[in-house]
């Protein structure tokens, strides 16, 4: 929001606070302050002279440059990008599975599922241990396991 009204007191405040250069004044008050200054420059000449004295002295202030080592140490502590898979195992995996590990993993899962389903189906038929035992007893001339036990 731009301030349109500017008073004599406020312009003196701006000069005493921000200095003589309008570019240093708050952006929303700058145009109105300039307009008032242009309308009656004599009313602010003393304030501007005093402000320029301080502005001039401040402009001569010097600060040393930071060392180049500071930049390096700051950047050395910066976060790294997420690591990609590297090393011997990753190379081996890439060689064996050039399309990635998705298909081998899928095949392993499919094998596991087939094994489970097959095993369950086989167990649910009731064919298995009892028939094998009967065949075994028959091979030795017994009709059933009971005859084998009575012989013992």
Give the binding range for other proteins (CB under 8 A) out of 16-24, 32-40, 93-101, 104-112. Answer: 16-24
Question: Residues 125-152, buried b or exposed e (16+ Cβ, 10 A)?
Answer: eeeeeeeeeeeebeeeebeeeeeeeeee
**In the complex, what is the shortest distance from the CB of residue 91 to other proteins, in angstroms, rounded to a whole number?**
23
User: Please, is 33 exposed, middle or buried when counting C-beta atoms within 10 Å of its C-beta (0-12, 13-18, 19+)?
Assistant: buried
Is residue 116 within 8 A of residue 124, CB to CB? The reply is: no
Of residues 39 through 78, those in contact with other proteins by CB under 8 A are: 49-58, 60-67, 70-71, 73-75, 77-78
Nearest to 11 by CA among 31, 45, 28, 36: 36
When the beta carbons of 50 and 130 are compared against other proteins, the nearer one is 50
Contact 145, 152 (CB under 8 A): no
7 binds other proteins (CB under 8 A): no
Q: Which of 24, 31, 93, 142 binds other proteins (CB under 8 A)?
A: 24
User: Does residue 81 bind other proteins (CB under 8 A)?
Assistant: yes
Question: 125 near 118, Cβ under 8 Å?
Answer: no
Residue number, 67 or 124, with CB nearest to other proteins: 67
The yes or no reply on residue 9 touching other proteins (CB under 8 A) is no
**Min. distance of Cβ 48 from other proteins in angstroms?**
10
Under the rule (CB under 8 A), what is the footprint of other proteins?
A: 13, 16-19, 24, 26-27, 49-58, 60-67, 70-71, 73-75, 77-82
């Amino acid at each position: 929001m731009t301030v349109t009204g500017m008073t004599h007191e406020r312009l003196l405040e701006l000069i005493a606070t921000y200095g003589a250069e309008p570019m240093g004044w708050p952006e929303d008050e700058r145009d109105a302050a300039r307009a008032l200054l242009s309308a009656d420059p004599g009313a602010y000449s003393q304030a501007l002279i005093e402000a320029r004295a301080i502005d001039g002295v401040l402009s001569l202030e010097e600060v040393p440059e930071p060392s180049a080592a500071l930049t390096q140490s700051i950047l050395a502590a910066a976060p790294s990008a997420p690591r990609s898979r590297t090393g011997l195992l990753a190379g081996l995996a890439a060689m064996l599975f050039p399309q990635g590990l998705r298909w081998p993993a899928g095949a392993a899962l499919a094998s596991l599922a087939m094994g489970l389903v097959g095993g369950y189906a086989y167990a649910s038929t009731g064919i298995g241990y009892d028939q094998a035992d009967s065949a075994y007893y028959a091979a030795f001339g017994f009709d059933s396991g009971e005859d084998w036990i009575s012989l013992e």
